[in-house]
Chains A and B, each alone.
Chain A
Amino acid sequence: GEDVEQSLFLSVREGDSSVINCTYTDSSSTYLYWYKQEPGAGLQLLTYIFSNMDMKQDQRLTVLLNKKDKHLSLRIADTQTGDSAIYFCAEKEKTGANNLFFGTGTRLTVIP
């Protein structure tokens, strides 16, 4: 099956930029997503990128995709304490229905 890997933890100071990384193995992935999960809550869709793009920006969020290296990153500018959460990357396979494969999640801690 598909493998989606993320580092488990990241700590940053409030006001700094955060960069959360993700690697995947399925070269036929069509879309890649970033979700945020706060404690005890469901997953909130933050943004997604089509596989033929290499960058997408949405306010404080910048997604970079290196398709050759199968590497996806999420940069959060001016990180705030409210950004503390677990961030999951996910990929959608080319064939099949709408199945998403999630990474292991990165717990972001923002230090005031």
Chain B
Amino acid sequence: AQSVAQPEDQVNVAEGNPLTVKCTYSVSGNPYLFWYVQYPNRGLQFLLKYITGDNLVKGSYGFEAEFNKSQTSFHLKKPSALVSDSALYFCAVRDARSQGNLIFGKGTKLSVKP
């Protein structure tokens, strides 16, 4: 079965420090991987995706993600965290069997303190 796991419920980072939000996946076939961000009382916003090509994917708001096939991981990173990055982050994998529906992780709450 295809699935995605976010092992950390919450990540705490000081402003200016690098941040990493972890995601691992399990798929049959090629993975199509996505990161979304949700600010309080808002819908999800697309950040970035990995389809093929370079393992380092750059996205919105200075975020990037590193695809690692051998570790089946797709960790979200940012070199220098901002307080405004505090939000809920979701990793998702495309389910190629069911017309491309997304399977979401449970989410990781990122808290950036000044």
Binding partners A and B: no
